[in-house]
A and B are shown apart, each in its own frame.
Chain A
Amino acid sequence: MAPSSGRVPEPESRKTVGINKETVSNTVSTDFPDNYPDGDESWDKDWFAQNLKIEFHQNDDYEAQFSLIGVDASIANAFRRILIAEIPTLAVETVFIQNNTSVVQDEVLSHRLGLIPFTGGKEGIRDWMKWWHKPVEGADQYSTTYDHNTVQLKLQVECTHNKDAAPDEKDPTKLYHNAHVYAKDIVYEPAGAQEQYFSGDNIIRPTNPDILIAKMRPGQVIDLEMHMHKGIGADHSKFSPVATASYRLMPVIKILKPILGDDAKKFQECFMPGTIKLEKVTKQHVKANKEYAGHEGEVMAAVDNPLYDTVSREVLRHPEFEGKVKLGRKRDHFIFSIESTGQWESDELFLESIKTLKTKSQKLQTQVQNMVYTYSG
């Protein structure tokens, strides 16, 4: 008998975290072998493939929201952590300051420059660009710096008086040239073979050109060069490809007893807009639930889209709803939200995190095999 045939899905009650007035119950997953007498909970590939679901709610270039259904929290959390800390991006790593007479100190300026997200030709950044390694002790500082591991940038701005400004002008941006230094003032300097990967639309540029780097007054100068390297978020968060990568569990709202009339409106206002809808009680409702008998035509509360609920538990504070509603969260339904900083697209990032987890698992597999060979005599 194939392991998955005849297997029944885990009942909802076992997969739901209870959200009570002051406590949270049933938080730990229980779907492991021999935990319940009535079913085999051992992991099975076919069963997993049947039950795994991914549904996108929003998929913009740099912002994605989707549901990952049918995995354990450990797997979902692994994806989240890989997204934040292990997918490589390019960021400013070294700053060579020739001159900086602005009020921003060299160290602070360097730190700010490091945190600016850049974007550019994907093929060049991901496949062609390699890791930069620190030269060995005593070797030349640039002995490991090549076109395929370093991107050069330049920032040269000088603040001057604007002769054309009106005499009573008060706005510094009009009174002076370059009063504000923005990320768009950073110029990319192609080196070696970079031209073929980073030109035209693929040029290395800040994702958000309007990031304010420093403010200056006439006579002040910033003149510096930067080197960008590849790195991962575990090393420094400037290398993290995501602004946020987080998940939450799907809320469950169960209306146990009818909520009618003005109570229904109040009930609706206890949740975020779009969570609860108001409906007229119809014959079908009465047929399905005897408690609606005699209330036909009245307004009743019904669950619309629990996705929008923030699980504020506001509804549990009101005595009139006591015993009428049960809140919970689905333990295997993760609503992911990935906001990219621009070097990757959000949906690509999720796929890349799967790839990374797979690579890591394969490495672990060979190590486990070696361990078994070593210790099994």
Chain B
Amino acid sequence: MSREAYQIPTSQGAGGPGAGNAAVAGRAVDNEGLPMLYICGDCGTKFPLKRGDTIRCIECGCRVLYKERTRRMVQFEAR
């Protein structure tokens, strides 16, 4: 499976083909319309980044950034 075809598994069926493509199209904005925030690996501040921005913390200049966890509900069996 190619990376683009992969969809984050969700239980509600909301993550069908349509929803998945929308997420791919607008990388910087997730499906809830909130800007995608990145977390600095050094100082921990959260800030938005757009396509083409330099990958760098706006506070301390650290080049290690983390993505935030998905805000979608994930379902597990307690087994």
Contact = CB atoms under 8 A, between A and B. Distances in A.
Interface string B1-34: 0000000000110000000000000000000000
B39 to A, nearest CB: 9
Interface string B36-60: 0000000010000000000000000
A134 B12 CA distance: 15
A96 B73 contact: yes
A114 B78 contact: yes
B76 A94 contact: yes
B12 to A, nearest CB: 7
A101 interface: yes
B76 A106 contact: yes
B76 A110 contact: yes
A245 interface: no
Nearest to B76: A110
A99 B72 CA distance: 8
Nearest to A110: B76
Among the interface residues B11, B12, B71, B77, which one has the most CB atoms of the partner chain A within 10 A?
A: B77
A98 B76 contact: no
A93 B44 CA distance: 35
B74 A97 contact: yes
Given A99-B71, A141-B12, A219-B44, A93 B76 contact: no
Given A99-B69, A101-B69, A141-B12, A94 B77 contact: yes
A236 B12 CA distance: 25
A107 B73 CA distance: 14
Interface string B60-74: 000000000101011
Contacts of B79: 110-111, 114, 236, 238
A93 B75 CA distance: 11
A359 B77 CA distance: 31
A206 to B, nearest CB: 14
B73 A97 contact: yes
Nearest to A97: B74
Contacts, number: 46
Interface string A70-103: 0000000000000000000001111111111100
B13 to A, nearest CB: 8
A226 interface: yes
B76 A95 contact: yes
A96 B71 CA distance: 12
Contact of B78 (A98, A99, A113): A113
Nearest to A91: B78
Contacts of B44: 219
A348 B11 CA distance: 39
A8 B79 CA distance: 53
A97 B76 contact: yes
A217 to B, nearest CB: 11
A100 B73 CA distance: 10
Interface string A148-188: 00000000000000000000000000000000000000000
A106 B78 contact: no
Nearest to A92: B78
Contacts of B76: 94-95, 97, 106-107, 110
Interface of A: 91-101, 106-107, 110-111, 113-115, 141, 219, 226, 236, 238
* Leading 4 A-B pairs by shortest Cβ distance: A114-B78, A110-B76, A92-B78, A95-B76
Given A111-B79, A236-B79, 19 more contacts: A92-B78, A94-B75, A94-B76, A94-B78, A95-B75, A95-B78, A96-B75, A97-B75, A99-B71, A100-B69, A101-B69, A110-B76, A110-B79, A111-B78, A113-B78, A114-B77, A114-B78, A226-B78, A238-B78
Interface of B: 11-12, 44, 69, 71, 73-79
12 contacts: A94-B75, A95-B75, A96-B73, A96-B74, A107-B76, A110-B78, A110-B79, A111-B79, A114-B77, A115-B78, A141-B11, A219-B44
